[in-house]
Amino acid sequence: MNMPATANQNRAVTLKQSLARPDIQARIEERLGQKAGNFMASILDLSGENHQLQKCDPNLVIKECLKAAALDLPINKNLGFAYVIPYNESSKVGNQWIKTMTPRFQMGYKGFIQLAIRTGQYKHLNAGVVYEGEEMVVDRIRGTLTIEGKATSEKPAGYFSYMQLVNGFEKAIGWSVEKVMAHGQKFSKSFGKKTSPWKTNTEAMCLKTMIMQLIPKYGPMSIELTQAMTQDRSDVVPFDQGESRIQEEANQGEVIDINPEVAPEETRKPEPVNGGEITEEEKAEIVRQESEAEKADEPARGPGF
């Protein structure tokens, strides 16, 4: 059920009143200094443009916006650096499920690029679209790719991300549209919903997916980048959360082979031969090797200093 327009207006007024509170203003000014006024104005503009955001608790909206401010990223949705997106989340109260509109901070792919550039270690960093008629040719030796051919339409056929560090290291990743969308469907809880960013801003989410597959795996990570990925509440699971997914999917009937470390050749024991039976010569060799190893482990005799 949609909230009546008058209720939405009340929410907007409440947000304005919340921003006028001395304690909240002091908190924002402490973080942003002279930028506090423009930041509070951008919050009001953001809420005024989004009717669903007006249904959220204004204090939560301010809290999520401050996450972008802490990273020195604007929350103007037209810039694409960071967003605050309302999600209709369900929670159980007693025996009933109640839906509540909740704001969530979400990084844009341009925001990740901006934070990466600030490290001073990236010479080039880019993400883009490969259109029908074009082909991604992978250089498997160098770990890069090139785009060949000529676009025959504006329909995306794939996406890529590329980086080159100031020290010369470079890496490129390219995925087909099908692979990117399959990734989103696997990791997104709201992928199929009409209000999901995957539906309302598909290209931005695809480009963000490519950036998230590139920087955390192959690029230098600053404290800001790590913080942004931790705070980001988007649908795409960051690379550094892969371990938790392994734990979730463990014990599902599949066996994972682990290659044991191979002992150095000089300490490796002879392998059994002759159908598994060890000859007398081999037994003697094993005893000799173990005796030498024990002597090597004994402390050298001499003055006690």
127-151 residue pLDDT tens: 999 999 999 999 999 999 999 999 9
The answer as to whether 147 is a domain residue is yes
Question: How far apart, in whole angstroms, are the C-alpha atoms of residue 236 and residue 56?
Answer: 23
The answer as to whether 263 is a domain residue is no
The answer as to whether 210 is a domain residue is yes
Tell me, yes or no, whether 99 and 149 share the same domain. no
Final residue of a domain: which of 198, 222, 244?
Answer: 244
Tell me, yes or no, whether 43 and 55 share the same domain. yes
Given a cut of 60, whether residue 6 has pLDDT beyond it is no
Q: How far is CA 168 from CA 26, 39, 138, 173, 240, in A?
A: 45, 38, 19, 17, 25
Tell me, yes or no, whether 115 and 233 share the same domain. yes
Given a cut of 60, whether residue 305 has pLDDT beyond it is no
Tell me, yes or no, whether 180 and 205 share the same domain. yes
Instruction: Tell me the whole-structure pTM to 2 decimals.
Output: 0.69
The answer as to whether 269 is a domain residue is no
Question: How far apart, in whole angstroms, are the C-alpha atoms of residue 195 and residue 89?
Answer: 12
Tell me, yes or no, whether 59 and 173 share the same domain. no
Given a cut of 60, whether residue 274 has pLDDT beyond it is no
Tell me, yes or no, whether 90 and 15 share the same domain. yes
Tell me, yes or no, whether 118 and 154 share the same domain. yes
Find the length of the chain: 305
Which uninterrupted H or E stretch holds 106? strand 96-107
- Under the banding of pLDDT at 50, 70 and 90, the label for residue 238 is very low
Given a cut of 70, whether residue 239 has pLDDT beyond it is no
Nearest CA to 153 out of 139, 134, 128 is that of 134
The answer as to whether 163 is a domain residue is yes
Domain that holds residue 11: 7-107
Tell me, yes or no, whether 115 and 202 share the same domain. yes
Final residue of a domain: which of 107, 123, 139?
Answer: 107
Q: What is the mean pLDDT of residues 157-176?
A: 97
Tell me, yes or no, whether 114 and 51 share the same domain. no
At residue 151, the pLDDT reads 97
In terms of pLDDT, which residue wins out, 11 or 97?
Answer: 97
For the chain, what percent of residues have pLDDT higher than 90? 46
Name, in order, each residue with C-beta under 8 angstroms of 104's C-beta and a sequence gap of 6 or more.
64, 84, 85, 86, 87, 233
The answer as to whether 253 is a domain residue is no
Given a cut of 90, whether residue 282 has pLDDT beyond it is no
Which uninterrupted H or E stretch holds 170? strand 170-176
Tell me, yes or no, whether 238 and 113 share the same domain. yes
Least confident of 17-31, 85-99, 106-120, 215-229: 85-99
Domain count, the chain: 2
Question: How far apart, in whole angstroms, are the C-alpha atoms of residue 71 and residue 66?
Answer: 9
pLDDT in tens, 172-228: 999 999 999 999 988 887 788 787 888 888 999 999 999 999 999 999 999 999 989
User: Buried b / exposed e across 2-12, counting CB within 10 Å, b at 16+?
Assistant: eeeeeebeebb
- A 10 A CB-CB count for 291 gives 10
Tell me, yes or no, whether 50 and 163 share the same domain. no
- Under the banding of pLDDT at 50, 70 and 90, the label for residue 284 is low
Tell me, yes or no, whether 192 and 163 share the same domain. yes
How far is C-alpha 169 from the chain's CA centre? 21
The answer as to whether 272 is a domain residue is no
The answer as to whether 2 is a domain residue is no
Final residue of a domain: which of 92, 107, 122?
Answer: 107
